[in-house]
Amino acid sequence: MIKSLFNLLVFPGFLFLVMSGLTFEWLDRKFLARFQRRVGPPWYQPLADLIKLFSKEDLLPKNANDFLAALLPLVSLASVLTAGLYVPIAGYKAFSFEGDLIVIIFLMSVPTLAYYLAGIISLGIYSVLGGGRSLLQFFSYEVPLLIALSGPAILGGSWSVSTIMEAQVNLGPFILFQPLGFILAVIGLIGKLKRDPFDIPKAKSEVVGGSLTEFSGPTLGFWNLVMDIQAVIGIFLLIDLYFGWTKMSHPSLAIIIFIIECLILVLILSGTSAIFARLRIDQLAGLGWRILVPLALLQLGLIILMGN
């Protein structure tokens, strides 16, 4: 009972995921600033921003659905926190069962659908446009992402993240067998997080802030927290599926390696945001269905042949 509460509230649950999300936001902003020859924010800036939002008044346009506006970020937060419980951290797993990868993928998709509904219920023109863009973008990146994540499951012979990691102890990191799948998974994660160059649903120069344009105060703070936690869970999941975990006599060494891998992925995400310009929504749809999906199917076919 005590161990379960610790897992839920401290590690790898609420407290750990919140602190990891805020740390990711700071590192991302710091790396991006360095790429742009700026200093970047201090380490406490994401926490200060979150506290500032929680201390402000929560306002919405007239006739907007206040109940759903408050409910959607909480449902999204609950979804990503639950998903985080099934993603191993440096080999440590709080909960695991056969098929937990499917549950993780489903729970990680809930914030995207909630983001779309948030734009619809807030009634603002920019919010509605951002919500519609997010839904179209969802269908553009989600299919190649799902196919890319199914590769490690097929190669590992299981839909359990822990079992897939154990398979890599004997076979080696799966990124050696499916580097294309890893690249596609990273691209899909960028789309899921709505980051440059896939920040189409919240492009400031076009739709101000997308679905969250009309949100403020604690509601906006919860949305920002959802995005940060979703990012770290996505990073943890990619490391587990493609880099695996080597059983070592010193667990501290495994933790250090895990942290280094996380930093490398954060650097990749930040570098992508700094290098590439935003795509148009039609360009993203074309990229997803004409290039990414065929490449993902090719990678999947190679994995099936490799298994045989």
Indicate whether this model's pTM tops 0.85.
Answer: yes
Mean pLDDT computed over 122-128? 83
- Please tell me the distance from the alpha carbon of residue 106 to that of residue 112, in angstroms, as a whole number: 11
Give yes or no for a contact between 146 and 106, defined as CB atoms under 8 angstroms apart.
no
Provide the terminal-to-terminal Cα distance of the chain, rounded to the nearest Å.
Answer: 44
Print the domain residue range for 47: 20-307
Mean pLDDT computed over 9-21? 91
Give yes or no for a contact between 133 and 207, defined as CB atoms under 8 angstroms apart.
yes
- Please tell me the distance from the alpha carbon of residue 42 to that of residue 76, in angstroms, as a whole number: 28
Is residue 245 predicted with pLDDT exceeding 70? no
- For residue 13, tell me if it sits in a domain: no
Give the tens place of pLDDT for each residue, 98-122: 889 999 999 999 999 999 999 888 8
Domains in the chain, number: 1
For residue 121, give every residue at least 6 positions away whose Cβ sits within 8 Å of its Cβ, in sequence order, or none: 64, 65, 68, 69, 72
- For residue 11, tell me if it sits in a domain: no
Is residue 156 predicted with pLDDT exceeding 70? yes
Our CA angle for 254, 243, 181, nearest 5°, is 165
- Please tell me the distance from the alpha carbon of residue 138 to that of residue 143, in angstroms, as a whole number: 9
- For residue 234, tell me if it sits in a domain: yes
Is residue 155 predicted with pLDDT exceeding 70? yes
List 137's β-bridge partners, or say none: none
Q: pLDDT band for 279, please (50, 70, 90 cuts).
A: confident
Residue 82's pLDDT is what?
A: 94
Tokens 């080999």 belong to which residue? 91
- For residue 5, tell me if it sits in a domain: no
- Please tell me the distance from the alpha carbon of residue 187 to that of residue 74, in angstroms, as a whole number: 27
- For residue 35, tell me if it sits in a domain: yes
Is residue 150 predicted with pLDDT exceeding 70? yes
Strands (E), 171-281: none
Residue 10's pLDDT is what?
A: 87
**Residue 37 DSSP label:** T
Burial group, residue 32, by CB count within 10 angstroms (0-12, 13-18, 19+) = middle
For residue 133, give every residue at least 6 positions away whose Cβ sits within 8 Å of its Cβ, in sequence order, or none: 200, 201, 207, 210, 281
Residue 24's pLDDT is what?
A: 96
- For residue 259, tell me if it sits in a domain: yes
- For residue 15, tell me if it sits in a domain: no
Give the tens place of pLDDT for each residue, 281-301: 888 888 889 999 999 999 888
Burial group, residue 34, by CB count within 10 angstroms (0-12, 13-18, 19+) = middle
- For residue 1, tell me if it sits in a domain: no
Q: Looking at per-residue confidence, does 252 or 157 come out higher?
A: 157
Share of the chain above pLDDT 70, in %: 98
Mean pLDDT computed over 220-237? 95
